[in-house]
Structure 1
Amino acid sequence: MTHHDGEDSPEPMASVRLRRAARGPEGAVRVLALHGLAGSVSSWAPYERLALDEVELWDGELPWGSAGDPGWSLRDDPADHVERALDAVPGGVDLLIVHSFTAGPALEALVRRAHSGGPRAVVVIAPFHRRRTDDFSWDDATYYLGGFHRILEEGLRIGGGERLPAEVRAAMALRVRDRVGPYGWQQFFGAYLRSPFLDVASLRLPVLVVAGSEDFAAPPDDARALAAALPDGRFRLFDDCGHFAMAEQPQRFADAVHELLRETFPAAPATPSPSDVHPYVPELT
Protein backbone atom coordinates (compact mmCIF):
# COMPACT_ATOMS: atom_id res chain seq x y z
CA MET A 1 0.00 0.00 0.00
CA THR A 2 1.58 3.26 -1.13
CA HIS A 3 0.53 6.74 -0.07
CA HIS A 4 1.57 9.81 -2.00
CA ASP A 5 1.97 13.36 -0.72
CA GLY A 6 0.49 14.50 -4.02
CA GLU A 7 0.89 13.84 -7.71
CA ASP A 8 2.88 17.03 -8.31
CA SER A 9 4.88 17.04 -5.10
CA PRO A 10 8.66 16.96 -5.63
CA GLU A 11 9.10 15.41 -2.22
CA PRO A 12 9.71 11.65 -2.03
CA MET A 13 6.77 9.47 -1.21
CA ALA A 14 6.53 6.93 1.56
CA SER A 15 5.57 3.35 0.90
CA VAL A 16 3.95 1.34 3.67
CA ARG A 17 2.20 -2.01 3.56
CA LEU A 18 -0.25 -3.79 5.79
CA ARG A 19 1.77 -6.84 6.62
CA ARG A 20 -0.78 -8.56 8.85
CA ALA A 21 -4.26 -7.51 9.91
CA ALA A 22 -5.26 -7.76 13.55
CA ARG A 23 -6.94 -11.04 14.41
CA GLY A 24 -8.79 -9.90 17.51
CA PRO A 25 -12.48 -8.92 17.42
CA GLU A 26 -11.71 -5.23 18.16
CA GLY A 27 -9.21 -2.86 19.67
CA ALA A 28 -6.38 -3.31 17.14
CA VAL A 29 -3.01 -1.75 17.97
CA ARG A 30 -1.37 -0.38 14.82
CA VAL A 31 2.36 -1.17 14.77
CA LEU A 32 4.72 0.22 12.12
CA ALA A 33 8.13 -1.47 11.75
CA LEU A 34 10.96 0.27 9.84
CA HIS A 35 14.15 -1.49 8.74
CA GLY A 36 17.70 -0.12 8.93
CA LEU A 37 20.27 0.84 6.31
CA ALA A 38 20.45 -1.76 3.51
CA GLY A 39 17.75 -3.71 5.37
CA SER A 40 14.40 -4.94 4.13
CA VAL A 41 10.88 -5.65 5.30
CA SER A 42 11.85 -9.32 5.63
CA SER A 43 13.49 -8.31 8.92
CA TRP A 44 10.06 -8.39 10.54
CA ALA A 45 8.97 -11.88 9.45
CA PRO A 46 9.94 -13.48 12.79
CA TYR A 47 7.93 -10.92 14.77
CA GLU A 48 4.96 -11.23 12.42
CA ARG A 49 4.68 -14.91 13.33
CA LEU A 50 4.72 -14.12 17.07
CA ALA A 51 2.67 -10.91 17.20
CA LEU A 52 -0.40 -10.76 19.40
CA ASP A 53 -3.79 -11.14 17.73
CA GLU A 54 -4.50 -7.50 18.54
CA VAL A 55 -1.50 -6.27 16.57
CA GLU A 56 -2.15 -4.75 13.14
CA LEU A 57 1.36 -4.92 11.71
CA TRP A 58 2.59 -2.53 9.02
CA ASP A 59 6.03 -2.26 7.52
CA GLY A 60 7.68 0.44 5.44
CA GLU A 61 9.99 0.33 2.44
CA LEU A 62 12.48 3.12 3.00
CA PRO A 63 14.75 4.47 0.24
CA TRP A 64 17.87 3.30 2.09
CA GLY A 65 16.65 -0.30 2.04
CA SER A 66 18.25 -3.10 0.08
CA ALA A 67 15.89 -2.47 -2.85
CA GLY A 68 15.80 1.32 -2.55
CA ASP A 69 17.08 4.19 -4.68
CA PRO A 70 20.75 4.90 -3.87
CA GLY A 71 20.16 8.50 -4.94
CA TRP A 72 18.30 9.22 -1.70
CA SER A 73 21.59 9.95 0.04
CA LEU A 74 22.33 12.85 -2.30
CA ARG A 75 19.14 14.80 -1.76
CA ASP A 76 16.93 13.63 1.11
CA ASP A 77 16.56 14.17 4.84
CA PRO A 78 16.03 10.68 6.32
CA ALA A 79 13.76 12.06 9.07
CA ASP A 80 11.36 13.27 6.37
CA HIS A 81 10.95 9.71 5.14
CA VAL A 82 10.16 8.48 8.63
CA GLU A 83 7.53 11.19 9.03
CA ARG A 84 5.94 10.28 5.72
CA ALA A 85 5.84 6.62 6.70
CA LEU A 86 4.13 7.53 9.98
CA ASP A 87 1.59 9.65 8.15
CA ALA A 88 0.95 6.97 5.53
CA VAL A 89 -0.55 4.46 7.97
CA PRO A 90 -4.34 4.91 7.96
CA GLY A 91 -5.59 5.89 11.39
CA GLY A 92 -2.09 6.68 12.66
CA VAL A 93 0.62 4.61 14.31
CA ASP A 94 0.23 3.44 17.90
CA LEU A 95 3.63 1.76 18.26
CA LEU A 96 6.70 2.48 16.13
CA ILE A 97 9.53 -0.07 15.90
CA VAL A 98 12.81 1.04 14.33
CA HIS A 99 16.13 -0.70 13.78
CA SER A 100 19.73 0.46 13.64
CA PHE A 101 20.41 3.50 11.40
CA THR A 102 16.71 4.34 11.19
CA ALA A 103 16.59 4.93 14.95
CA GLY A 104 18.42 8.26 14.55
CA PRO A 105 16.13 9.74 11.86
CA ALA A 106 13.09 8.34 13.70
CA LEU A 107 14.06 10.09 16.93
CA GLU A 108 14.65 13.29 14.96
CA ALA A 109 11.18 12.97 13.44
CA LEU A 110 9.55 12.26 16.80
CA VAL A 111 11.28 15.26 18.40
CA ARG A 112 9.86 17.45 15.61
CA ARG A 113 6.34 16.31 16.40
CA ALA A 114 6.76 15.89 20.15
CA HIS A 115 3.92 18.34 20.80
CA SER A 116 1.78 17.59 17.75
CA GLY A 117 0.87 13.94 18.12
CA GLY A 118 2.50 10.73 17.00
CA PRO A 119 3.00 7.16 18.19
CA ARG A 120 2.11 6.42 21.80
CA ALA A 121 5.15 4.19 22.28
CA VAL A 122 8.40 3.32 20.50
CA VAL A 123 10.75 0.34 20.33
CA VAL A 124 14.33 1.14 19.28
CA ILE A 125 16.62 -1.75 18.34
CA ALA A 126 20.43 -1.38 18.23
CA PRO A 127 20.59 2.43 17.99
CA PHE A 128 23.69 4.42 17.13
CA HIS A 129 23.49 7.07 19.82
CA ARG A 130 25.91 9.00 22.00
CA ARG A 131 25.23 11.70 24.53
CA ARG A 132 28.30 13.92 24.21
CA THR A 133 30.20 15.24 21.22
CA ASP A 134 33.51 14.32 22.81
CA ASP A 135 32.36 10.69 22.89
CA PHE A 136 33.43 10.57 19.23
CA SER A 137 36.99 10.29 17.98
CA TRP A 138 38.76 9.79 14.68
CA ASP A 139 39.03 6.13 15.61
CA ASP A 140 35.24 5.87 15.38
CA ALA A 141 35.24 7.24 11.83
CA THR A 142 38.01 4.80 10.88
CA TYR A 143 36.18 1.87 12.47
CA TYR A 144 32.88 2.50 10.73
CA LEU A 145 34.39 3.44 7.39
CA GLY A 146 36.72 0.46 7.20
CA GLY A 147 34.31 -2.00 8.81
CA PHE A 148 31.00 -0.93 7.28
CA HIS A 149 30.89 -4.02 5.10
CA ARG A 150 31.13 -6.24 8.21
CA ILE A 151 27.80 -4.91 9.46
CA LEU A 152 26.25 -5.60 6.06
CA GLU A 153 27.74 -9.09 6.01
CA GLU A 154 26.28 -9.81 9.44
CA GLY A 155 22.86 -8.79 8.16
CA LEU A 156 23.20 -11.18 5.24
CA ARG A 157 24.23 -13.98 7.60
CA ILE A 158 21.32 -13.45 9.98
CA GLY A 159 18.93 -13.18 7.05
CA GLY A 160 19.72 -16.69 5.90
CA GLY A 161 23.19 -16.34 4.50
CA GLU A 162 24.54 -19.21 6.61
CA ARG A 163 23.63 -21.37 3.63
CA LEU A 164 26.20 -19.49 1.57
CA PRO A 165 29.96 -20.00 1.76
CA ALA A 166 31.61 -17.27 3.82
CA GLU A 167 33.53 -15.91 0.83
CA VAL A 168 30.33 -15.55 -1.19
CA ARG A 169 28.62 -13.76 1.68
CA ALA A 170 31.61 -11.42 2.03
CA ALA A 171 31.52 -10.60 -1.69
CA MET A 172 27.78 -9.89 -1.50
CA ALA A 173 28.37 -7.54 1.44
CA LEU A 174 30.91 -5.58 -0.57
CA ARG A 175 28.42 -5.24 -3.41
CA VAL A 176 25.79 -3.94 -0.98
CA ARG A 177 28.35 -1.52 0.47
CA ASP A 178 29.14 -0.21 -2.99
CA ARG A 179 25.45 0.23 -3.71
CA VAL A 180 24.99 2.24 -0.50
CA GLY A 181 27.97 4.30 -1.58
CA PRO A 182 30.07 6.93 0.21
CA TYR A 183 27.14 9.33 0.45
CA GLY A 184 24.94 6.68 2.03
CA TRP A 185 27.70 5.98 4.54
CA GLN A 186 27.99 9.71 5.20
CA GLN A 187 24.25 9.85 5.95
CA PHE A 188 24.69 7.01 8.42
CA PHE A 189 27.68 8.51 10.21
CA GLY A 190 26.25 12.02 10.03
CA ALA A 191 23.12 10.88 11.87
CA TYR A 192 25.35 9.20 14.44
CA LEU A 193 27.34 12.42 14.94
CA ARG A 194 24.13 14.42 15.38
CA SER A 195 22.81 12.15 18.11
CA PRO A 196 24.21 14.20 21.03
CA PHE A 197 22.17 17.17 19.82
CA LEU A 198 18.84 15.33 19.84
CA ASP A 199 16.39 16.76 22.37
CA VAL A 200 15.32 13.33 23.56
CA ALA A 201 14.15 14.89 26.84
CA SER A 202 11.15 16.23 24.91
CA LEU A 203 9.92 12.72 24.08
CA ARG A 204 7.30 12.14 26.76
CA LEU A 205 6.32 8.63 25.73
CA PRO A 206 7.51 5.15 26.69
CA VAL A 207 10.52 4.06 24.66
CA LEU A 208 11.93 0.55 24.92
CA VAL A 209 15.58 0.38 23.83
CA VAL A 210 16.85 -3.11 22.94
CA ALA A 211 20.51 -4.04 22.56
CA GLY A 212 22.46 -7.24 21.95
CA SER A 213 25.41 -7.99 24.21
CA GLU A 214 27.48 -9.16 21.22
CA ASP A 215 26.64 -6.28 18.87
CA PHE A 216 29.92 -5.15 17.29
CA ALA A 217 28.16 -2.48 15.20
CA ALA A 218 26.06 -0.49 17.68
CA PRO A 219 27.69 -0.74 21.13
CA PRO A 220 25.23 -1.75 23.87
CA ASP A 221 26.39 1.32 25.82
CA ASP A 222 24.83 3.46 23.08
CA ALA A 223 21.44 1.90 23.78
CA ARG A 224 21.96 2.17 27.53
CA ALA A 225 22.85 5.87 27.22
CA LEU A 226 19.79 6.58 25.09
CA ALA A 227 17.46 4.85 27.54
CA ALA A 228 19.02 6.83 30.38
CA ALA A 229 18.43 10.15 28.61
CA LEU A 230 14.78 9.50 27.78
CA PRO A 231 12.13 10.65 30.27
CA ASP A 232 10.40 7.27 30.01
CA GLY A 233 13.14 5.05 28.64
CA ARG A 234 13.67 1.43 29.52
CA PHE A 235 16.62 -0.74 28.51
CA ARG A 236 16.84 -4.45 27.74
CA LEU A 237 20.06 -6.24 26.98
CA PHE A 238 19.75 -9.57 25.19
CA ASP A 239 22.65 -11.84 26.04
CA ASP A 240 24.24 -13.89 23.25
CA CYS A 241 22.69 -11.56 20.68
CA GLY A 242 24.12 -9.27 18.02
CA HIS A 243 22.78 -6.40 15.94
CA PHE A 244 19.51 -8.02 14.83
CA ALA A 245 17.61 -8.87 18.00
CA MET A 246 14.26 -9.21 16.23
CA ALA A 247 15.69 -12.00 14.03
CA GLU A 248 18.29 -13.55 16.33
CA GLN A 249 16.02 -13.88 19.37
CA PRO A 250 12.50 -13.41 18.03
CA GLN A 251 10.59 -14.82 21.00
CA ARG A 252 12.53 -12.74 23.48
CA PHE A 253 11.99 -9.69 21.30
CA ALA A 254 8.27 -10.35 20.93
CA ASP A 255 7.92 -10.78 24.69
CA ALA A 256 9.60 -7.41 25.27
CA VAL A 257 7.36 -5.67 22.73
CA HIS A 258 4.24 -7.24 24.18
CA GLU A 259 5.20 -6.20 27.69
CA LEU A 260 5.36 -2.61 26.42
CA LEU A 261 2.00 -3.04 24.68
CA ARG A 262 0.41 -4.33 27.88
CA GLU A 263 1.64 -1.27 29.74
CA THR A 264 0.75 1.30 27.08
CA PHE A 265 -2.44 -0.25 25.76
CA PRO A 266 -4.06 -2.02 28.74
CA ALA A 267 -6.72 -3.65 26.58
CA ALA A 268 -4.06 -5.68 24.79
CA PRO A 269 -3.06 -8.96 26.49
CA ALA A 270 0.61 -9.67 26.98
CA THR A 271 2.98 -12.51 27.65
CA PRO A 272 4.76 -12.77 30.99
CA SER A 273 7.44 -10.17 31.58
CA PRO A 274 10.89 -11.41 30.55
CA SER A 275 13.54 -11.64 33.22
CA ASP A 276 16.34 -9.86 31.37
CA VAL A 277 15.41 -6.26 32.29
CA HIS A 278 18.40 -4.06 33.02
CA PRO A 279 17.86 -0.68 34.71
CA TYR A 280 19.34 2.14 32.73
CA VAL A 281 22.36 3.93 34.15
CA PRO A 282 21.73 7.63 34.88
CA GLU A 283 25.41 8.60 35.04
CA LEU A 284 25.78 7.91 31.30
CA THR A 285 23.79 11.05 30.56
Structure 2
Amino acid sequence: MPDTPFTVRELDAFEYVDEGPRDAEVPPVVLLHGMLGDLSNWTTTIEALSNRGYRVLAPTIPVYDLPLGETSVPDLADFVRSFIERLELEQTVLTGNSLGGHIALLYALKYAEDVAALVLSGSSGIYEATLGTTTMRRQDREFIRERTEMTFYDPAHATEELVDEMLDIVNDRPRALRLIKIARSADEETVTEQLGTLPMPTLLIWGRDDVITPPDVAEEFRDRMPNAHLHFIDECGHAPMIEHPDQFNELTLQFLDELSERQNFPQS
Protein backbone atom coordinates (compact mmCIF):
# COMPACT_ATOMS: atom_id res chain seq x y z
CA MET A 1 0.00 0.00 0.00
CA PRO A 2 1.19 3.56 -0.68
CA ASP A 3 2.50 5.56 2.26
CA THR A 4 -0.40 7.90 2.97
CA PRO A 5 -2.26 8.90 6.15
CA PHE A 6 -5.59 8.32 4.43
CA THR A 7 -7.50 5.09 4.05
CA VAL A 8 -6.55 3.42 0.78
CA ARG A 9 -9.60 1.65 -0.60
CA GLU A 10 -9.67 -1.31 -2.95
CA LEU A 11 -12.44 -1.95 -5.46
CA ASP A 12 -11.95 -4.46 -8.26
CA ALA A 13 -8.62 -3.50 -9.85
CA PHE A 14 -8.60 -0.02 -8.36
CA GLU A 15 -6.65 1.24 -5.37
CA TYR A 16 -7.56 4.78 -4.36
CA VAL A 17 -8.16 7.41 -1.71
CA ASP A 18 -11.64 8.92 -1.42
CA GLU A 19 -11.97 11.84 1.01
CA GLY A 20 -14.44 14.66 1.54
CA PRO A 21 -18.23 14.84 1.44
CA ARG A 22 -20.07 12.57 -0.98
CA ASP A 23 -22.92 15.07 -1.26
CA ALA A 24 -20.79 17.99 -2.42
CA GLU A 25 -22.60 20.15 -4.96
CA VAL A 26 -19.60 20.31 -7.27
CA PRO A 27 -17.96 17.50 -9.24
CA PRO A 28 -15.31 15.51 -7.39
CA VAL A 29 -11.65 16.33 -7.92
CA VAL A 30 -9.63 13.40 -9.30
CA LEU A 31 -5.89 13.63 -8.63
CA LEU A 32 -3.55 11.85 -11.08
CA HIS A 33 0.08 11.37 -10.07
CA GLY A 34 3.08 11.20 -12.38
CA MET A 35 5.10 8.34 -13.84
CA LEU A 36 7.43 7.97 -10.85
CA GLY A 37 4.89 9.20 -8.31
CA ASP A 38 2.28 7.64 -6.06
CA LEU A 39 -0.64 8.63 -3.84
CA SER A 40 1.68 10.13 -1.22
CA ASN A 41 2.44 12.97 -3.67
CA TRP A 42 -1.06 14.28 -3.01
CA THR A 43 -1.22 14.03 0.81
CA THR A 44 -1.43 17.74 1.56
CA THR A 45 -3.69 18.42 -1.45
CA ILE A 46 -6.17 15.73 -0.41
CA GLU A 47 -6.27 17.21 3.07
CA ALA A 48 -6.62 20.82 1.92
CA LEU A 49 -9.35 20.20 -0.66
CA SER A 50 -11.41 17.76 1.39
CA ASN A 51 -11.27 20.06 4.42
CA ARG A 52 -12.71 22.84 2.21
CA GLY A 53 -15.68 20.62 1.34
CA TYR A 54 -14.62 19.08 -1.97
CA ARG A 55 -14.77 15.35 -2.61
CA VAL A 56 -11.27 14.24 -3.60
CA LEU A 57 -10.31 10.96 -5.23
CA ALA A 58 -6.77 9.83 -5.97
CA PRO A 59 -6.28 6.50 -7.77
CA THR A 60 -2.99 4.68 -8.02
CA ILE A 61 -1.95 4.90 -11.67
CA PRO A 62 -0.84 1.36 -12.70
CA VAL A 63 2.32 2.34 -14.54
CA TYR A 64 3.94 -1.01 -13.73
CA ASP A 65 0.89 -3.26 -13.64
CA LEU A 66 -0.63 -3.29 -17.13
CA PRO A 67 0.36 -5.97 -19.66
CA LEU A 68 3.43 -4.80 -21.54
CA GLY A 69 1.51 -4.56 -24.81
CA GLU A 70 -1.08 -2.31 -23.14
CA THR A 71 1.37 0.00 -21.39
CA SER A 72 0.91 3.47 -22.89
CA VAL A 73 -0.51 6.86 -21.99
CA PRO A 74 -3.80 6.17 -23.87
CA ASP A 75 -4.12 2.87 -21.98
CA LEU A 76 -3.69 4.74 -18.69
CA ALA A 77 -6.35 7.24 -19.78
CA ASP A 78 -8.65 4.26 -20.43
CA PHE A 79 -7.84 3.00 -16.93
CA VAL A 80 -8.90 6.35 -15.46
CA ARG A 81 -12.11 6.19 -17.50
CA SER A 82 -12.84 2.73 -16.10
CA PHE A 83 -12.15 4.00 -12.58
CA ILE A 84 -14.51 6.96 -12.98
CA GLU A 85 -17.23 4.79 -14.48
CA ARG A 86 -16.84 2.14 -11.76
CA LEU A 87 -17.37 4.78 -9.09
CA GLU A 88 -20.37 6.06 -11.07
CA LEU A 89 -19.04 9.59 -11.27
CA GLU A 90 -20.44 11.99 -13.81
CA GLN A 91 -18.41 15.15 -14.34
CA THR A 92 -15.04 15.47 -12.61
CA VAL A 93 -12.27 18.01 -12.17
CA LEU A 94 -9.14 16.24 -13.42
CA THR A 95 -5.94 17.36 -11.72
CA GLY A 96 -2.67 15.91 -12.97
CA ASN A 97 1.05 16.31 -12.45
CA SER A 98 3.53 15.35 -15.17
CA LEU A 99 2.28 12.10 -16.74
CA GLY A 100 -0.93 12.54 -14.75
CA GLY A 101 -1.54 15.80 -16.60
CA HIS A 102 -0.98 14.06 -19.92
CA ILE A 103 -3.48 11.37 -18.94
CA ALA A 104 -5.98 14.09 -18.00
CA LEU A 105 -5.52 15.78 -21.38
CA LEU A 106 -6.08 12.59 -23.39
CA TYR A 107 -9.13 11.86 -21.24
CA ALA A 108 -10.50 15.38 -21.79
CA LEU A 109 -9.96 15.16 -25.55
CA LYS A 110 -12.01 11.96 -25.65
CA TYR A 111 -14.65 12.82 -23.02
CA ALA A 112 -14.77 16.62 -22.95
CA GLU A 113 -18.40 16.72 -21.80
CA ASP A 114 -17.43 14.77 -18.67
CA VAL A 115 -14.61 17.10 -17.61
CA ALA A 116 -15.80 20.15 -15.70
CA ALA A 117 -12.31 21.63 -15.41
CA LEU A 118 -8.60 20.78 -15.56
CA VAL A 119 -5.71 21.56 -13.22
CA LEU A 120 -2.38 20.77 -14.86
CA SER A 121 1.09 20.95 -13.33
CA GLY A 122 4.30 20.07 -15.15
CA SER A 123 2.20 18.18 -17.68
CA SER A 124 3.71 16.26 -20.54
CA GLY A 125 1.88 16.34 -23.86
CA ILE A 126 3.83 19.07 -25.66
CA TYR A 127 7.41 18.09 -24.90
CA GLU A 128 9.53 17.25 -21.90
CA ALA A 129 13.20 16.77 -21.18
CA THR A 130 14.01 13.16 -20.47
CA LEU A 131 15.05 11.95 -17.04
CA GLY A 132 17.15 9.35 -18.78
CA THR A 133 14.66 6.56 -18.16
CA THR A 134 15.76 4.77 -21.31
CA THR A 135 19.47 4.82 -20.42
CA MET A 136 19.60 4.55 -16.63
CA ARG A 137 22.62 2.51 -15.67
CA ARG A 138 21.74 -0.29 -13.32
CA GLN A 139 23.04 0.12 -9.78
CA ASP A 140 24.66 3.48 -10.57
CA ARG A 141 23.34 5.31 -7.53
CA GLU A 142 24.87 8.70 -8.27
CA PHE A 143 23.52 8.73 -11.82
CA ILE A 144 20.05 7.95 -10.48
CA ARG A 145 20.43 10.55 -7.74
CA GLU A 146 21.26 13.22 -10.34
CA ARG A 147 18.20 12.32 -12.40
CA THR A 148 15.97 12.31 -9.32
CA GLU A 149 17.26 15.71 -8.24
CA MET A 150 16.24 17.12 -11.65
CA THR A 151 12.63 16.87 -10.49
CA PHE A 152 13.10 19.53 -7.83
CA TYR A 153 14.46 23.05 -7.44
CA ASP A 154 15.74 22.07 -3.99
CA PRO A 155 17.70 18.80 -4.32
CA ALA A 156 16.99 18.04 -0.66
CA HIS A 157 13.64 16.66 -1.86
CA ALA A 158 15.55 13.86 -3.61
CA THR A 159 15.77 11.89 -0.37
CA GLU A 160 17.71 8.69 0.14
CA GLU A 161 14.37 6.88 0.30
CA LEU A 162 13.32 8.28 -3.08
CA VAL A 163 16.67 7.39 -4.65
CA ASP A 164 16.31 3.87 -3.23
CA GLU A 165 12.86 3.57 -4.83
CA MET A 166 14.27 4.64 -8.20
CA LEU A 167 17.14 2.19 -7.83
CA ASP A 168 14.66 -0.60 -7.12
CA ILE A 169 12.68 0.28 -10.25
CA VAL A 170 15.61 0.31 -12.68
CA ASN A 171 16.86 -2.99 -11.28
CA ASP A 172 13.46 -4.64 -11.72
CA ARG A 173 13.34 -5.58 -15.41
CA PRO A 174 9.52 -5.78 -15.82
CA ARG A 175 9.04 -2.39 -14.15
CA ALA A 176 11.96 -0.81 -16.01
CA LEU A 177 10.55 -1.99 -19.36
CA ARG A 178 7.16 -0.47 -18.57
CA LEU A 179 8.79 2.77 -17.51
CA ILE A 180 10.58 2.95 -20.85
CA LYS A 181 7.36 2.18 -22.75
CA ILE A 182 5.44 4.90 -20.92
CA ALA A 183 8.23 7.43 -21.51
CA ARG A 184 8.25 6.63 -25.24
CA SER A 185 4.46 6.77 -25.40
CA ALA A 186 4.48 10.20 -23.74
CA ASP A 187 6.88 11.42 -26.43
CA GLU A 188 4.64 10.03 -29.19
CA GLU A 189 1.22 11.05 -27.87
CA THR A 190 1.61 14.79 -28.18
CA VAL A 191 -1.56 16.87 -27.93
CA THR A 192 -0.18 20.23 -29.07
CA GLU A 193 -2.40 20.64 -32.12
CA GLN A 194 -5.55 19.50 -30.29
CA LEU A 195 -5.36 21.82 -27.29
CA GLY A 196 -7.52 24.46 -28.96
CA THR A 197 -10.48 22.06 -28.87
CA LEU A 198 -10.53 21.87 -25.04
CA PRO A 199 -13.02 24.52 -23.84
CA MET A 200 -13.15 23.72 -20.12
CA PRO A 201 -11.68 26.09 -17.50
CA THR A 202 -8.07 25.13 -17.00
CA LEU A 203 -5.62 26.13 -14.29
CA LEU A 204 -1.91 25.72 -15.05
CA ILE A 205 0.35 25.66 -11.97
CA TRP A 206 4.00 25.51 -12.97
CA GLY A 207 7.38 25.60 -11.27
CA ARG A 208 9.36 28.56 -12.54
CA ASP A 209 12.48 26.36 -12.38
CA ASP A 210 11.01 23.21 -13.95
CA VAL A 211 13.71 21.72 -16.18
CA ILE A 212 11.64 18.71 -17.29
CA THR A 213 8.67 20.65 -18.69
CA PRO A 214 10.20 24.16 -18.78
CA PRO A 215 8.22 27.41 -18.46
CA ASP A 216 7.86 27.75 -22.24
CA VAL A 217 5.81 24.53 -22.18
CA ALA A 218 3.43 26.09 -19.65
CA GLU A 219 3.16 29.22 -21.78
CA GLU A 220 2.33 27.18 -24.87
CA PHE A 221 -0.41 25.35 -22.97
CA ARG A 222 -1.80 28.73 -21.90
CA ASP A 223 -1.63 30.19 -25.39
CA ARG A 224 -3.20 27.20 -27.12
CA MET A 225 -6.01 26.41 -24.66
CA PRO A 226 -8.95 28.81 -24.98
CA ASN A 227 -9.83 29.01 -21.28
CA ALA A 228 -6.50 28.50 -19.50
CA HIS A 229 -4.83 30.60 -16.81
CA LEU A 230 -1.19 30.17 -15.80
CA HIS A 231 0.46 30.70 -12.41
CA PHE A 232 4.19 30.21 -11.86
CA ILE A 233 5.65 29.31 -8.47
CA ASP A 234 9.17 30.62 -7.88
CA GLU A 235 12.01 28.38 -6.70
CA CYS A 236 10.00 25.35 -7.74
CA GLY A 237 10.69 22.43 -10.04
CA HIS A 238 8.53 19.79 -11.69
CA ALA A 239 6.33 18.82 -8.72
CA PRO A 240 4.80 21.95 -7.12
CA MET A 241 2.38 19.97 -4.95
CA ILE A 242 5.40 18.38 -3.24
CA GLU A 243 7.85 21.27 -3.21
CA HIS A 244 5.42 24.13 -2.48
CA PRO A 245 2.22 22.42 -1.34
CA ASP A 246 0.71 25.46 0.37
CA GLN A 247 0.93 27.60 -2.76
CA PHE A 248 -0.25 24.77 -4.99
CA ASN A 249 -3.24 24.05 -2.76
CA GLU A 250 -4.20 27.69 -2.35
CA LEU A 251 -4.16 28.29 -6.11
CA THR A 252 -6.21 25.16 -6.68
CA LEU A 253 -8.74 26.07 -4.00
CA GLN A 254 -9.09 29.60 -5.34
CA PHE A 255 -9.75 28.16 -8.81
CA LEU A 256 -12.34 25.70 -7.52
CA ASP A 257 -14.04 28.29 -5.31
CA GLU A 258 -14.29 30.80 -8.15
CA LEU A 259 -15.76 28.21 -10.49
CA SER A 260 -18.24 27.17 -7.84
CA GLU A 261 -19.27 30.77 -7.17
CA ARG A 262 -19.80 31.38 -10.88
CA GLN A 263 -21.87 28.19 -10.99
CA ASN A 264 -19.77 26.87 -13.82
CA PHE A 265 -20.18 23.42 -12.32
CA PRO A 266 -23.37 21.58 -13.16
CA GLN A 267 -25.16 20.19 -10.11
CA SER A 268 -24.53 16.49 -9.55
On whether the aligned pair clears a TM of 0.5, the verdict is yes
Q: Secondary structure at the match of 2:114?
A: coil
Q: Which residue of 2 aligns with 1:129?
A: 125
* Residue 16 of structure 1 pairs with residue 11 of structure 2: no
Q: Percent identity?
A: 19
Q: Secondary structure at the match of 1:204?
A: coil
Q: Deviation per CA, 1:34-65, whole angstroms, max 9, x where unpaired?
A: 1111211111111123224211111101111x
Q: Distance in 1 between matches of 2:67 and 2:155?
A: 26
Unaligned 5+ segments in structure 1 are: 5-12, 269-285
The structural deviation recorded for 1:2 is 4.2
Q: Which residue of 1 aligns with 2:81?
A: 83
1:216/1:142 Cα in 2 relative to 1: closer, same or farther (>3 Å)?
A: closer
Q: Which residue of 2 aligns with 1:277?
A: none
Provide the aligned C-alpha RMSD in A. 3.3
- Tell me if structure 1 keeps the 8 A contact 2:28–2:55: yes
Q: Which residue of the other structure, out of 69, 79, 84, is the alignment partner of 1:74? A: 69
Q: Which residue of 1 aligns with 2:169?
A: 176
The structural deviation recorded for 1:175 is 2.2
TM-score where L is the length of structure 2: 0.75
Q: Secondary structure at the match of 2:21?
A: coil
Q: Deviation per CA, 1:135-177, whole angstroms, max 9, x where unpaired?
A: 79xxx66966447945546669989664x3xxx7545423223
Q: Which residue of 1 aligns with 2:30?
A: 32
Q: Which residue of 1 aligns with 2:266?
A: none
- Tell me if structure 2 keeps the 8 A contact 1:22–1:28: no
Q: Secondary structure at the match of 1:242?
A: coil
- Tell me if structure 1 keeps the 8 A contact 2:24–2:55: no
- Identify which range, 174-183 or 42-51, moves more after superposition: 174-183
**What residue identity is the alignment partner of 2:235?**
D
Q: Secondary structure at the match of 1:59?
A: strand
Q: Which residue of 1 aligns with 2:94?
A: 96
The structural deviation recorded for 1:202 is 1.8
- Tell me if structure 2 keeps the 8 A contact 1:212–1:243: yes
1:151/1:142 Cα in 2 relative to 1: closer, same or farther (>3 Å)?
A: closer
Q: Distance in 1 between matches of 2:115 and 2:59?
A: 15
- Tell me if structure 2 keeps the 8 A contact 1:207–1:234: yes
Unaligned 5+ segments in structure 2 are: 1-8, 137-142, 264-268
TM-score where L is the length of structure 1: 0.71
